[in-house]
Amino acid sequence: MKKNQLLLLLGLGVVLAAVAFLVSKKQTAPYQQPARAGAKLLPDLDINAVGLLSIRSASNALTLAKQNDVWVVKERGDYPANFDTIRDLMRKFHDLKIARTVQAGASRLPMLGLDGPEKSSTLLEMKAADGKLLRSVLLGSSGQNEGRGWPSGRYVMVGNDTKTIGYVADALSDVDAAADRWLNKDFFKVEKLKSIAVTTPVATNNWKLTRSSESADWKLAGAKAGEELDSTKTSGLNSLFSHPSFNDVIPGTVALDKPIAATLETFDGYTYKLKTAKKTDDNYHLQIAVTAKLVKQRTAGKDEKPEDKTRLDKEFKESLQKLEEKLKAEQSCAKWTYVVSKWTVDQILKNRGDLLAEKKSEEKPSDDQPSAPAPAMQ
């Protein structure tokens, strides 16, 4: 082989190696380009590849992870996250455009609030399920609407490249490292309530109410002489825990101080065992355990027609499936202790006497009523 040919082959090998290195580097590192007004902030973001989100600020750190196709909040013992909130955030960053570019060097970063999550910034990292970094965005100071007082946008920087600093017309307030705002707030739901039994630290305050149907009045079990329910005080129990909500969750079981226990049974066969105790003046801890004895077979009616039987069997099967799915979802609540408002548990905090009608006092003659005449003297 001639010397010139050898040199040519060596040169070609160097070029190919360089190209391979650049391609490899491009594949393993997120692409960044200088900020340009009107362009997308993250033009190459594949939101379907994101399997982990990390949000960090000086006060909080949050990790949202996709596990078995379900997003969870790691800081809350893998409690299910609100998928809609995550989806909306990803779509926002997929479409987010730069309103104007900002020329700034490293010395100006603190003025823009882009001096890092340890100081005044919020860092959003989008990663693959295996932890590989896909994109990262540093969120800085918010701009204010003149004369209106609310944020009109925010300074951002992609990665740690000052050439990517820009201003977007969105305050991005939903990029929040507070774990409680990312929780899926779907909760247990009590339907067709049949009975309520409440046990308090003081036995004389215990009570149990039952009813024969959803439209019937409540009856006080073991009512003593002179005890009569006040319907105006018990009417709110018809919808007890029909739409409960919570503020936050704590992984595992928290020791409750002087808890109040409640057992709720439904006409569908569900049994809810609840325990609650005061956390603060406005918030309570709540623990939940759910079981059910579901009717698995439908009893056909007398003289039931074949066409009716087919339809009714189908409706029963569909209803049973929904009840079983509801049971499975609500039984998972037992893994956490919930922080709820006092209003949520207020009805089961009542003592026995709080449900009773006030006793009528005997009427006494008023001073202006004539007194009975004195008996005549004999």
Q: What percent of the chain has pLDDT over 90?
A: 72
Residue 369 lies in a domain: no
Whether residue 211 sits in one domain with residue 154: no
pLDDT score at 12: 57
- Asked if residues 288 and 319 have their Cβ atoms less than 8 Å apart, the reply is no
For residue range 160-199, list pLDDT tens digits in order. Answer: 999 999 999 999 999 999 999 999 999 999 999 999 999 9
Residue 365 lies in a domain: no
Residue 211 is classified by DSSP as: -
Residue 94 lies in a domain: yes
261-283: average pLDDT: 96
267-293: average pLDDT: 96
Residue 372 lies in a domain: no
Q: How confident is the model at residue 68 (pLDDT cuts 50, 70, 90)?
A: very high
Choose among 266, 275, 249, 377: nearest CA to 327: 266
**Token code pair at residue 125:** 């990292």
Whether residue 264 sits in one domain with residue 157: no
Residue 366 lies in a domain: no
User: From CA 147, how far away is CA 339, in angstroms rounded?
Assistant: 39
Look-up of token digits 């003592």: 351
Q: Long-range pairs for 286-289 at CB < 8 Å and ≥24 separation?
A: 286/246, 286/337, 286/338, 286/339, 286/340, 286/344, 286/345, 287/253, 287/254, 287/256, 287/334, 287/337, 287/338, 288/188, 288/330, 288/333, 288/334, 288/338, 289/331, 289/334
For residue range 284-310, list pLDDT tens digits in order. Answer: 999 999 999 999 988 888 888 888 888
Residue 377 lies in a domain: no
Residue 63's CB is within 10 A of a number of other CB atoms, namely 17
Of 182, 202, 232, the residue that ends a domain is 182
Q: For the chain, what is the domain count?
A: 2
Whether residue 226 sits in one domain with residue 77: no
Q: What percent of the chain has pLDDT over 70?
A: 84
Residue 52's CB is within 10 A of a number of other CB atoms, namely 21
Residue 376 lies in a domain: no
State how far the alpha carbon of 111 is from the alpha carbons of 1, 104, 105, 173, in Å: 64, 10, 11, 19
Write out the DSSP string of 96-163. -B-SEE----GGGGGGGT-S-TTTT-EEEEEE-TTS-EEEEEEEEEEEE-TTT-SEEEEEEEETT-GG
89-112 burial: b if 16+ Cβ within 10 Å, else e: bbeebeebebbebbebeeeebeeb
Surface-to-core class of residue 13, CB atoms within 10 Å of its CB (0-12 exposed, 13-18 middle, 19+ buried): exposed
Domain that holds residue 225: 193-297+310-355
